[in-house]
Structures are given as C-alpha cells and as structure tokens.
Amino acid sequence: MSKSMVVSVILLAIFLLCSPSSVAVLLNKLQLPPPLTGPESLAFDRNGGGPYVTSSDGRIFKYVGSNEGFKEYAYTAPNRNRTICDGLADFSVVQAICGRPLGLGFNHQTNDLYVADAYFGLVKVGPNGGNATQLVGPTQANSTMFADGLDVDPDTGIVYFTIASTNYKLKDFQTVLASGSGDNSGSLLRYDPSTNQTTVLLRNLTIPSGVAVSKEGSFVLVSEYLANRIQRVWLKGPRANSSELFMLLAGRPDNIKRNSGGQFWISVSSFLGTPRSPGCSTLPSGVRVNENGLVLQIVSLVEEYGPEAASEVQEYNGTLYGGSLLASYATSFTS
Ligand SMILES: *[C@@H]1O[C@H](CO)[C@@H](O)[C@H](O)[C@H]1NC(C)=O
Ligand SMILES: *[C@@H]1O[C@H](CO)[C@@H](O)[C@H](O)[C@H]1NC(C)=O
Ligand SMILES: *[C@@H]1O[C@H](CO)[C@@H](O)[C@H](O)[C@H]1NC(C)=O
Ligand SMILES: *[C@@H]1O[C@H](CO)[C@@H](O)[C@H](O)[C@H]1NC(C)=O
Ligand SMILES: *[C@@H]1O[C@H](CO)[C@@H](O)[C@H](O)[C@H]1NC(C)=O
Ligand SMILES: *[C@@H]1O[C@H](CO)[C@@H](O)[C@H](O)[C@H]1NC(C)=O
Ligand SMILES: *[C@@H]1O[C@H](CO)[C@@H](O)[C@H](O)[C@H]1NC(C)=O
C-alpha cells in the first residue's frame, strides 16, 4: 500500500466516524418541463444566469426564474429531429440520435458552454445557445463517444472531460451497474481550445464520471464511479504528469465541483443494484473536501432525492444546488 493510499484510508475512517454531518434543507425544486428528467449537471453563465441543466431528451435548459421556470437553451445533436426527440425519456435507444448532455461548464471569458454528451462527445455551444459544434467526437461513422464529466479551467479555458467507457453506452449503464462489471476502459482527457488539440491524461479508469481542476490549475481530480475513489493528476510542479489516489469513498462518487474558495463538493450516492448497507443511510450526500482530500462537511440529500442517486452538488453564490440523472427536477438547498 502506498503512503497516499494509507493516508486516504485514514481519511475515509475519519469521514465515517466523526465528520460534521447535516441534512440539507430544501429551498426550491426546479422542475423540468414534463416529462423530462435528468438534470445531471448544472452551470451558471458569467452574469450569474441559470442554472443551465442537462436533460434526457438532448436539450439544455436555462432556469429563468420561478414564474417561467426552465426555457430551452441549446441542444447537442447536429441533426436533432424534434418530432422524435422532444420529451424523450432516458436510456432510450433513440438517444443516440437525439443526444444526451451529461457534463456542463461555461468558459466565462467567451460565454461558450462546453458540453460532455453521452453520444456526441465534447461539443461547444456559442453565447446565443442553439446548435452545438462538435469538438471531439467518435472517430467512426455511426459510432458514439460516451463523454460524461466536464470542467473548464477559468483562467486558461482548457477543458477537462471524461470518457466514461468505450465498451458501454449510457443506455447499458444499468446493466453495467447490476453486473458489477470491472470495466476500466474509461479515460480523462484535456482539450485545449487555443490549439484544438486533445490529449489523454489518464487511461484505464472505472467509469470516470466527474472531473474538477484545482483553483490554481496545478492538478485535476477525476472520480471513478464504480471504484468508489477519486484520483488526482498533477498538471504542474515536480509531480506533473503523475497521478495518485486522492480519496476513497463509502459510496459512488459522481460529479465534482470546485467552489469559489477552491474546495470541492463531491456528490456521493449509495451502491445501486446491491443491498443497502445500514451505514449508508445518509446517502446520497454532498461531501465538501479541501485540496488535501480532508472532509470538511457532509450534507445528506435524502430529503431531496430519497434513496435515488444524486449526480452533483454545486455551491454557487452562497447557495447549494443539486442534480440527478433520473429525477425530474434540480434542487437548491442550504446545509
Ligand atoms: C448573489 O446573491 C445575492 C443575494 O444573496 C444577489 O444579490 C446577487 O445578485 C447574486 N449574484 C449573482 C451573480 O447571482
Ligand atoms: C422527423 O421525424 C419524423 C417522424 O419520424 C419524420 O416524419 C420527419 O420527416 C423527420 N423530420 C426531419 C426533418 O427529418
Ligand atoms: C448544426 O450544426 C451542424 C454542424 O455542426 C450542421 O451540420 C447542422 O446542419 C446544424 N443544424 C442546424 C439546424 O442549424
Ligand atoms: C449510419 O446509419 C444510417 C441510419 O441508421 C445509415 O443509413 C447509414 O448507412 C449508416 N452509415 C454507416 C457508415 O454505417
Ligand atoms: C480550431 O478549430 C476551429 C473550428 O473548427 C477553427 O476555426 C480554428 O482555426 C482552429 N484553431 C487552430 C489553432 O487550429
Ligand atoms: C487500458 O486501456 C486501454 C484502452 O485505453 C486498453 O487497450 C488496455 O487493455 C487497458 N489495460 C488494462 C490493463 O486494462
Ligand atoms: C509533462 O508532460 C508534458 C507534455 O508531455 C511535458 O511538456 C512536461 O515537460 C512534463 N513535465 C514533467 C515534470 O515531466
């Protein structure tokens, strides 16, 4: 066992035994237009507009206030047919032509919205929304690229994103979970908009679902949903280009979001497809950690999502927001 692994196991024990834990108090349920589901991730534009959320039918919606709710903003599939796609439920075969955005992040300098799509890979939506441009897609006709997590470095505009798997598609996801498959075909990538170049930072990941770059851009974190862990890839300094275990978790880590102070919120859910262990009753939870992986706070989202998985917890302008792959709403709450 490496030194960092020992440290992480000790941190896990601390997390389980004595972390400051509370139950989230719901402020608002931000309901998607029925019958849509799956605001898996959220983003805010540079003027504080939003949240923008992903949805099951391939569209991205912007929340414009309690009266009007969510309004269509953009879509990811280049030839999206509204007759077939609008109102589509998740895990449909047709999603491959309608698109399924999963990860969202704005470049606040350009107000471009970068999107990780489960079928179309990495795409970019311009400042006025609408049609997207494909940046990194499948290499063969009629194949797909299961992109999932995404973060944009606010200083450099560099986009970090994950390919969850090359063996499975999103529509097979429940099969992957139930089978306990050790699929490790996922990877973490870096896209540089100034050169259009894409490089692979880490391979052989077990359903990498979330990613977040550190405040100073010195490292990037990537969660491995089915391995219950988070890895750190160093980008700068003497350890640049090497990776290490950052944290082990007592649940499935999904999206990771940096707050304005440079800490991270990790969404952690229970082990779907396996009997619930008694210790996991506070899941799903948001876990706030510092840059060393020390747990600072745990907020249970059981009242917001019941036992269903949550996919994201994000802190924005003093409020917490929650996302989910399957729920029909996003949430705002306080801890
Ligand atoms: C942040 O929240 C405050 C109220 O707490 C509000 O006045 C302000 O407009 C918000 N800023 C943004 C960018 O949403
Ligand atoms: C969209 O799909 C419908 C139903 O299959 C079809 O009738 C229509 O021609 C399609 N529209 C376009 C522009 O392909
Ligand atoms: C959307 O953009 C793609 C190229 O990125 C283009 O092929 C397609 O025709 C565009 N669709 C619309 C409705 O403008
Ligand atoms: C891609 O799929 C379309 C429709 O399903 C089909 O018409 C086309 O021949 C396919 N192209 C290739 C290269 O397989
Ligand atoms: C990157 O791609 C865009 C659009 O495809 C193109 O306009 C731009 O010139 C490219 N930049 C570089 C440095 O190749
Ligand atoms: C690592 O992933 C690559 C594809 O990115 C695959 O070819 C290789 O077999 C994997 N290695 C292991 C040990 O699973
Ligand atoms: C990390 O990799 C990059 C690109 O391959 C290289 O330019 C850089 O020198 C490497 N840094 C270290 C510390 O090895």
Q: What is the pLDDT of residues 84-132, one digit of tens each?
A: 999 998 888 899 999 999 999 999 999 999 999 999 999 999 999 999 9
| Structure confidence at residue 61 (pLDDT) | 98
| Structure confidence at residue 18 (pLDDT) | 53
Task: State the closest ligand 3 atom to the C-alpha of 133, by its place in the atom list counted from 1.
Answer: 5
Q: What is the DSSP string of 41-55?
A: -EE--TTS---EEE-
DSSP letter at 90? T
**Number of neighbours of residue 22 by Cβ within 10 angstroms:** 13
CB 78 within 8 A of CB 72: no
Task: State the closest ligand 5 atom to the C-alpha of 195, by its place in the atom list counted from 1.
Answer: 13
- Beta-bridge partners for 52: 43, 62
Q: Is 133 in the pocket of ligand 3 (CB under 6 A)?
A: yes
Any residues with Cβ below 6 Å from ligand 5, and which?
Answer: 195-196
Residue nearest to atom 13 of ligand 1 (CA): 48
Positions of the chain with pLDDT lower than 50, given as ranges: 1, 13-14, 17, 273-276, 278-279
- Beta-bridge partners for 145: 120
- Beta-bridge partners for 151: 160
Smallest CA-to-CA distance from 103 within 47, 40, 61 is with 40
Smallest CA-to-CA distance from 134 within 189, 75, 82, 52 is with 75
pTM of the model as a whole: 0.91
Backbone angles phi, psi at 69, to 5 degrees: 65, -135
Q: Is 142 in the pocket of ligand 7 (CB under 6 A)?
A: no
| Structure confidence at residue 122 (pLDDT) | 98
**Number of neighbours of residue 294 by Cβ within 10 angstroms:** 15
Which ligand has an atom closest to residue 165 CA?
Answer: 6
Q: Is 317 in the pocket of ligand 1 (CB under 6 A)?
A: yes
CA 136 to ligand 5 centroid distance, Å: 12
CB 334 within 8 A of CB 319: yes
Torsion sign across C-alpha atoms 230, 268, 184, 147: negative
What is the rounded CA–CA span in Å between residue 235 and residue 214?
10
CA 32 to ligand 5 centroid distance, Å: 35
CA 240 to ligand 4 centroid distance, Å: 43
CA 57 to ligand 2 centroid distance, Å: 16
| Structure confidence at residue 275 (pLDDT) | 45
CB 217 within 8 A of CB 192: no
Task: State the closest ligand 4 atom to the C-alpha of 141, by its place in the atom list counted from 1.
Answer: 13
Residue nearest to atom 4 of ligand 1 (CA): 317
Ligand 4, from 119, 139, 142: best to mutate by most atoms within 8 Å of Cβ?
142
CA 236 to ligand 7 centroid distance, Å: 9
CA 98 to ligand 2 centroid distance, Å: 12
CA 140 to ligand 3 centroid distance, Å: 19
Torsion sign across C-alpha atoms 3, 297, 20, 228: negative
CATH label, 3-334, candidates 3.30.360.10, 2.120.10.30, 2.40.33.10, 3.30.70.100: 2.120.10.30
What is the rounded CA–CA span in Å between residue 177 and residue 2?
28
Residue nearest to atom 1 of ligand 6 (CA): 204
CA 246 to ligand 5 centroid distance, Å: 35
CB 220 within 8 A of CB 211: yes
Which ligand has an atom closest to residue 75 CA?
Answer: 3
Q: Residue type for 30, please?
A: L
| Structure confidence at residue 282 (pLDDT) | 84
Smallest CA-to-CA distance from 307 within 274, 264, 332, 334 is with 274
Task: State the closest ligand 6 atom to the C-alpha of 184, by its place in the atom list counted from 1.
Answer: 14
Q: Which residues contact 116 (CB under 8 A, 6 or more apart)?
A: 101, 102, 103, 104, 122, 147, 148, 149, 150, 161, 162
Strands 59-63 and 52-54: antiparallel
Task: State the closest ligand 5 atom to the C-alpha of 194, by its place in the atom list counted from 1.
Answer: 13
Smallest CA-to-CA distance from 60 within 80, 47, 48, 46 is with 80
Q: How far is CA 155 from CA 87, 109, 144, 193, 194, in A?
A: 37, 9, 30, 13, 13
